Structure 1
Amino acid sequence: MSHLPATAVTAAANQLMLAGHWAAATDLLAAARTDDPAEQQVLALARATVAVDHDFGQRSDHATAALAAVPEDSWDLAMFKLRKDYADALFNSGDRDLRDRMLTLIKDAPDDARRGTANFWAGAIADNVYEQPAEAIEHYRQALELAEKSGDELTMAQALRHLGHHSHAAGELLPAREQWERSTELLQQNGHLRPTLAQQVHIAILLRDEGDIDGSAALATEVNRWARQLGIGFIIQQTEELMVRRTPQEPPR
């Protein structure tokens, strides 16, 4: 029988998760066995990570059981619970007192990388649950600064993606393009497929707004194919709308 440290198993599972292979990542982690309590905690947190990401992509509910199975409380577990409850608030119109929890996670973060992560999710919550764009932008900027400082490229990518959304909403198409293209590059470098596809939807929207209707529809078509392979419903819907070659001023039929 082969023996691997828990960190090696969780690293492999993380790469599968980033590629959208949630079931394979879960199966790998479920097959790992250890009597070491510290390694059990590592594996349980990894299973929770995969479950939370899976639920966000496919509107499923794997995280409830996975989070409950983590033996010990920690900052990381609290962060995953916040992310789950944010998804519930976003997709099911809940709240669950997210604001105080997100601010506590920022304050209590054990290092710059985690503080950057907490700021990013605080921005998403301020943006999409409480509709406070100015507050959200400040959190995204803090997340970007801390992620650059700590070398966390995935948080950098997510912060840039959301800052680009606000640039685009303000009609600032050039900054939006720069932020979105850099975000896409970072996501691709790290193999995180789901947000890469979501980011390319934004670029397709930008192409449409710049007048390149055919380019927008072509990119949306390719993203739609990937999204169907992963079963990501909201990206499928967004790209179907863009695949119709329609100018921004023309109302949908």
Structure 2
Amino acid sequence: MTKTSTHHASLPLPEVIAAARELARAGRWQRALRLLDSTVTAERPERAALAVAAAEIALEHDWFGGTDTAGARIAVADVALAGLTEPAARWDLEFVRLRRAYFRILVRDGRFRFGPAGKDPAETAELRRRSEELCGQATDGVRRGWARMYLGLILDNVFAEREAARSHYELALRAGESGDDLLAREALRHLGDHDHDNLDHAGALERWSRATALGARAGNVPGTLSQQLLLAVLARDGGDEPAATALATEVARWAEAMGATRLATQATAFLTGTDPTAPPKNNDS
């Protein structure tokens, strides 16, 4: 049992962390972090769990909001876990560290840099090695599915090994369908991207529509908005520019209002003719 305040209430720690994660999924990242930071417990494993959850939420904020706060949170979690035997929490923190490294390699100077060009081969090889290692170290099937998901993303977006990535997305989808809507959503999103690149627009629509529904069911507001932008891409591909414009306009409005600046920028660029599913023609420019 964890006291959220000596003067107000005592709540089970899993409920506090679950509430913080749901706030974060709704785009209330700062409120979620304040909830975790205000939670007091005398138990070291519980303090470590709070620190790891805070690192996860900070990373989500960084991704959507363009901030850079996860590094400090990871350092705090490292200290909190020191000397503890908590395999799941340690795996979770290493997964946060992997995702942060992936994001920092993929996004430079506010721009997505797809493919191996301009990247340090030693750095990208280490990223790949770490993702493979996490696949083997996962403490359960869903965690293994997330590790497979990110191994696929690394192969896809960092190494440009599109065909190799697909099998990892499919494994992630199976794991997600066994008990994690957000993982299933993520896998469907990227499998749909492959369908779209292969001009299978019907397949892309089916996967992206499912991903949108799963994200909404999980309360993932910024993720659902990003899916709506992909549906706008399909509307434009199908010649329905008014529908594409209406969708993207609302995505931009919502994203800007909630502080998801990276997504707002993508939606605004779409309205001027940019396809968010297309990598830059020259990643070195």
Match 2:81 to one of 57, 72, 77: 72
Query: Are the equivalent residues in 2 in contact too, given 1:147–1:153 (CA < 8 A)?
Result: yes
Q: Which has the higher helix share?
A: 1
The equivalent residue for 1:249 is none
Q: CA RMSD in A?
A: 1.6
> Distance in 2 between the 1:59 and 1:241 partners?
16
Taking structure 1 as the reference length, what is the TM-score of the superposition?
0.93
Q: How far is the alpha carbon of 1:235 from its aligned partner?
A: 2.0
Q: How far is the alpha carbon of 1:244 from its aligned partner?
A: 4.8
> Distance in 1 between the 2:256 and 2:64 partners?
12
| Unpaired runs of at least 5, structure 2 | 1-6, 83-89, 114-118, 275-285
Does residue 225 in structure 1 map to residue 253 in structure 2? yes
> Distance in 2 between the 1:211 and 1:42 partners?
49
The equivalent residue for 1:239 is 267
Does residue 50 in structure 1 map to residue 52 in structure 2? no
- Output aligned runs, 1:142-161, within 5 Å: 142-149=171-178, 151-161=179-189
Q: For residues 82-133 of structure 1, give each alpha carbon's deviation from its aligned partner in whole angstroms, at most 9, with x where no partner exists.
A: 0111111111266632100000001111111100111111111111111111
> Distance in 1 between the 2:273 and 2:61 partners?
32
Q: For residues 148-190 of structure 1, give each alpha carbon's deviation from its aligned partner in whole angstroms, at most 9, with x where no partner exists.
A: 23x1111000000010011001100000000000000000001
Query: Are the equivalent residues in 1 in contact too, given 2:145–2:176 (CA < 8 A)?
Result: yes
Identity between Structure 1 and Structure 2 (%)? 38
Query: Are the equivalent residues in 2 in contact too, given 1:217–1:245 (CA < 8 A)?
Result: no
One-letter amino acid of the structure 1 residue matched with residue 195 of structure 2: S
> Distance in 2 between the 1:30 and 1:103 partners?
32
Does residue 25 in structure 1 map to residue 32 in structure 2? yes
Does residue 8 in structure 1 map to residue 15 in structure 2? yes
Match 1:197 to one of 216, 219, 225: 225
Structure scoring higher RCO (CA < 8 A, sep ≥ 6) equals 2
Moved over 6 A (4+): none
- Output aligned runs, 1:108-123, within 5 Å: 108-123=137-152
> Distance in 1 between the 2:68 and 2:265 partners?
21
The equivalent residue for 1:209 is 237
Taking structure 2 as the reference length, what is the TM-score of the superposition?
0.82
| Unpaired runs of at least 5, structure 1 | 247-253
> Distance in 2 between the 1:244 and 1:75 partners?
42
Query: Are the equivalent residues in 2 in contact too, given 1:201–1:239 (CA < 8 A)?
Result: yes
One-letter amino acid of the structure 2 residue matched with residue 100 of structure 1: R
Aligned length, in residue pairs? 245
